[in-house]
Structure 1
Amino acid sequence: MADTAPTDLPLVVGIGGTIGGVSSTERALMIALDSVGREGFRTRMFGGADMARLPLYDPKATSRTDAELEFVETVRQASALIIASPGYHGSISGVVKNALDLLEETAGDARPYLADMPVGLIATAYGWQATGSTIAALRSIVHALRGWPTPFAAAINTQLTKFDDAGGASEPAVLDQLVMVGQQVARFAPLAAATNG
């Protein structure tokens, strides 16, 4: 999904999904990013297809692919992030972790990693147990990357909630949760910009 809205607006980047088509995780992320867009932000999503183009992160590599360079540069420009992951075996998926590992490329930046950035979190899983552990793993990773997880995170049990192609969900409460993730990110992003400005 390309940047939306005028380029002079602050940017919120969404990272999440699975390889092999548009997933529940990706649909949930789209809903949260739409909420951010309604708050006056530009958005850019790196979904499953985008993450599939990222090679396994090699910290000793002397060059990066175009897909890696685009991902890192886009995150550098962001005022905030939303990360969405399916719960695979009780934690985040490999493709989401690989994308986040690539942010090591920002270690020497004036603003390294996700320093002082608000980060909204979404976890989807086929059952409740993995949603909780996946959110906990995401919070831990965001803290390690020096970011600020927003107070509310959306945990979605895909046994109970189904998403549709029109951007809806079978459970109105889930839609409310995803909108709240977007609203909190939008609320805290200007504070992060002031800190880093």
Structure 2
Amino acid sequence: MTAAKPPLIVGIGGTIGGVSSTERALRIAVAAAGEIGFRTRIFGGDALAQLPLYDPRATERTEAERAFVDAVRDASAVVIASPGYHGSISGVVKNALDLLEETARDPRPYLADMPVGLIATAYGWQATGSTIAALRSIVHALRGWPTPFAAAINTQITKFDDEGSASDPAVLAQLRLIGEQVARFAPLAGGLAVPG
């Protein structure tokens, strides 16, 4: 008899062209769930860049597309992080979320009944609010449950480092809260016990 695997938290977000503030913020949030005992998987900017533009008529999917969809199918919770591009989410994040149409006929389609943590980053405050609002709207359309708290991060003020920290302790606490909230609500998505 083998022990059941801990629930999986999937992180989605970042930008093309290296590890961004968005991806660093995502990694902090997802790491908080990992510290509680959840399995974690992150699809950052490099992974999102490998996803071709979503074609609903395609009869075959690439290995990168299959890996992404399978991870979300296996997930008990998701964290989505997007930079605020022109007042909304980035194209690579939207393209990844569009690919979840592949789950439309699954017993649990899209993000149904899953807690979803949200993070928006922007160089200034204006785009953070509209990006969070866009993410909430998309998650609702995908039948997910946005967690009560979302992080809006002004990267003009807050800086991230390669060691998984941020210059503002309050932002660090906010990101950790997102990871902890998705972890707390994840068992409700699949009746799974909280690890630890």
Per-residue Cα deviation, 1:103-138 (whole angstroms, up to 9, x for no partner):
000000000000000000000000111000000000
Q: Find the aligned partners of 1:91 and 1:8 in 2 and give their Cα distance.
A: 36
Any conservation in 2 of the 1:7–1:42 contact (CA below 8 Å)?
A: no
> Cα distance, 1:87 vs. partner?
0.2
Q: Find the aligned partners of 1:147 and 1:72 in 2 and give their Cα distance.
A: 15
Aligned to 1:128: 125
Aligned to 2:22: 25
> Cα distance, 1:194 vs. partner?
1.9
Q: Does 1:14 align with 2:27?
A: no
TM-score by length of 1: 0.95
Runs of 4+ residues deviating >4 angstroms = none
Q: Give the secondary-structure state (helix, strand or coil) at the position aligned to 2:191.
A: helix
> Cα distance, 1:40 vs. partner?
1.3
Aligned to 2:39: 42
Q: Does 1:63 align with 2:60?
A: yes
> Cα distance, 1:184 vs. partner?
0.5
Provide structure 1 residue ranges, at least 5 long, that are not aligned to the other structure.
1-5
Q: Does 1:179 align with 2:176?
A: yes
Any conservation in 2 of the 1:163–1:169 contact (CA below 8 Å)?
A: yes
> Cα distance, 1:193 vs. partner?
1.1
Residue number among 84, 92, 98 corresponding to 2:89 in the alignment: 92
Any conservation in 2 of the 1:18–1:95 contact (CA below 8 Å)?
A: yes
Residue number among 121, 137, 140 corresponding to 1:140 in the alignment: 137
TM-score by length of 2: 0.95
Let me know the Cα RMSD of the aligned residues.
1.2
> Cα distance, 1:39 vs. partner?
1.4
Larger RCO: Structure 1 or Structure 2 (Cα < 8 Å, ≥ 6 residues apart)? 2
Q: Give the secondary-structure state (helix, strand or coil) at the position aligned to 1:134.
A: helix
Per-residue Cα deviation, 1:49-97 (whole angstroms, up to 9, x for no partner):
0000000000001111010011001100000000000000000000000
Alpha-carbon spacing, 1:155–1:115, altered in 2? closer, same or farther (3 Å): same
Aligned length: 190
Structure 1 vs Structure 2: percent identity of aligned residues? 78
Residue number among 186, 191, 195 corresponding to 1:194 in the alignment: 191
Provide structure 2 residue ranges, at least 5 long, that are not aligned to the other structure.
none
Q: Give the secondary-structure state (helix, strand or coil) at the position aligned to 2:48.
A: helix
Aligned to 1:77: 74
Q: Give the secondary-structure state (helix, strand or coil) at the position aligned to 1:166.
A: coil
Per-residue Cα deviation, 1:116-165 (whole angstroms, up to 9, x for no partner):
00000000000111000000000000000000000000000000000001
